[in-house]
Structure 1
Amino acid sequence: MPEQPPMHDRGFATFTHSAGDVIRYRTVGCGPQTLLFLHGFAASMHTWYDLLPFFPPERFTLYLLDLKGHGGSSRPFSGDYSPLHNAELVRAFIRSAPLKKITLVGHSLGGGVALLAALSSPDVERLILIGAPAYPQQIPHFMVRLSWPVIGPLAMTLLPSQMIARLGLQAAFYRHERITRQLMARYAACYTGFKSACALARTVRHIVPANFTELIARYREITMPVLLLWGEHDRVVPLWQGERLQRELPDARLDVIPDCGHNPHEERPEATFACIAAFFDSTDVDKVQERDR
């Protein structure tokens, strides 16, 4: 059974940057606070569905994007799938919408893309990074195997998508009893078909920017308020990444969610929203000024 659409859903739309870069997005809510969500590797906008009900629709407008090669966005057999290119697509979407004074939210790969997009997007006023890889680390073995030309995508296509989804969720979640059938179906759809497998393989091959060292040196340019959200037991992107980001970003706070792995927005959505709500309250200029009077 397909998942129910989010409450106060305003429907799907597409943004065309070029013939090979057509990005699907969904809009939820109609409030004055605008958030733009970017999912992780081998996921889609569906990864946020457990978190959405906590956002009052009269206060927030939420934009959910499918990154290139994921969900309902384009999957060309050639072209650029790098985080830098995805960041440019995000910036182009922000300009085209147009969106102003937004909070950019990214999980895992989407967090890395959000970090790069924030380096040169004046309309981003807050940044929320959830288990985001900001520094070099070991790439998981299954991603390395998937990146092998032809063999990797073919092997993934031949394996049952439910099995791949289950193994992926077991790596991401701290408590496996929280993995529901709905979550399994959500992620199995991301692994279905040879075209999807090829797009994921190209994403892995392009995942490490060639100028990574130069980009890391620019993180200090991000002076906006940043919330770093990490699961205490994240085995995919270790907590040291968040701790280092907190030291190197000028205005960052790190919230560690206990009893949780790499996907806090799915494994512990209520605790995740509590951290986001507190971050908004602490960075809302009017509320801070009223509290300090």
Structure 2
Amino acid sequence: MEQAVLTGHQQVNNINIYYEFYPKSTTDKTVILLHGFLSSTFTFRHLIPLLKQDYQVLSIDLPPFGKSDKSSRYVYSYKNLAQTVIKLTELFGIKKMTLLGHSMGGQIVLNILHMMPELADKAILLCSSSYLKRFGLPLILTSYIPYFHLFVKYWLARTGVKKNLQDSLFNHSLINEEMINGYLQPFLQDKIFVALTKMIRHREGDLPVEVLHKIKTPCLLIWGEHDRSMPLHVGERLKKDLTNSELIVLKETGHAVPEERPEEVYQHIKRFLAAV
């Protein structure tokens, strides 16, 4: 009988990280789950029960999201987020892993593959953030205005969780109170908006093409046909720039593939990880 899920916080890289760890004694394969911008482990709640049947699973709330700390001293760059994930896997003693990232989490995965190519044997990118530039200098400078975090809060309140979900999902009938409340929860405390202001300053642009060409880790790209956040042409371009990759396109699916197609995503992952 497998152990129950282990949840908690771990101090790593000068910040408290929330994690959910699903140990499995019959396998040495661990899948590391990294969510997207404005999201959390919550986004994988339908995928985790499927994955944990076959693999150990470690799902991480990337700071400042979910239940991880929203420190004003942490550096919210992709490079530092990648280093934080690496250090957490070291603390867990995980040797053999597959990295899975959705949206922004995909860009963190790519950073890890670039920084430590030997760390993961394979990677899965779900509608991965790619080719985005750094925020413009005017916005970065404006972020230093006192109480700028209140403008960030106002902007997010205007778009609203429900509107963001409608933009992310092709099938709007899936949106319910549980989903809305799950995504809303981390934004009920003001300190996350201070941290998001820091992220505006710290976030580099996505990895350039010349770096992507150097990544040799086998990558499975899974994309929604109707993704409005990272349109399909981004996935097609990424497939060309990652020399050892394949692209799967899910019909009648938007950006939130773990929400809309967990079973199909799981089946593609299982096939990909079983291949030699």
Same-fold status (TM-score > 0.5): yes
CA shift digits 1:157-206 (9 cap, x unpaired) = 56896972111111111121121221111101122121012222322333
The match for 1:79 is 74
| Residue among 121, 124, 128 paired with 1:125 | 121
The match for 1:228 is 221
Residue pairs, 1:76-115, within 5 angstroms: 76-115=71-110
Structure 1 residues 111 and 149 mapped into 2: Cα distance closer, same or farther (>3 Å)? farther
Return the TM-score normalized by structure 1. 0.82
The match for 1:25 is 19
The match for 1:288 is none
Tell me how far 1:245 sits from its aligned partner: 1.4
Structure 1 residues 248 and 44 mapped into 2: Cα distance closer, same or farther (>3 Å)? same
Q: Which amino acid aligns with 2:48?
A: L
Task: Write the distance in 2 (CA, Å) between the matches of 1:8 and 1:165.
Answer: 34
Pair 1:277 & 2:270 matched: yes
CA shift digits 1:11-43 (9 cap, x unpaired) = 213332243x22111111414121000011111
Return the TM-score normalized by structure 2. 0.87
Where do 5+ consecutive residues of structure 2 fail to align? none
Pair 1:265 & 2:244 matched: no
Task: Write the distance in 1 (CA, Å) between the matches of 2:234 and 2:146.
Answer: 32
The match for 2:210 is 217
Higher RCO structure (Cα 8 Å, ≥6 apart): 2
Dislocated runs of 4+, deviation >4 Å? 146-152, 155-163
* Native 8 Å contact 2:168 2:254 kept in 1: yes
Structure 1 residues 17 and 259 mapped into 2: Cα distance closer, same or farther (>3 Å)? same
**RMSD over equivalenced CA pairs, Å:** 2.7
Tell me how far 1:262 sits from its aligned partner: 0.5
* Native 8 Å contact 1:161 1:192 kept in 2: no
Where do 5+ consecutive residues of structure 1 fail to align? 1-6, 286-293
Tell me how far 1:220 sits from its aligned partner: 2.1
Pair 1:248 & 2:213 matched: no
Pair 1:177 & 2:173 matched: yes
Pair 1:195 & 2:191 matched: yes
Question: What SS does the aligned partner of 2:90 have?
Answer: helix
Q: Which amino acid aligns with 2:272?
A: F
The match for 2:63 is 68
Q: Which amino acid aligns with 2:175?
A: I
* Native 8 Å contact 1:235 1:262 kept in 2: yes
* Native 8 Å contact 1:127 1:226 kept in 2: yes
The percentage of aligned residue pairs carrying the same residue is 27
CA shift digits 1:73-119 (9 cap, x unpaired) = 12112331011110111111222222112000001111100110111
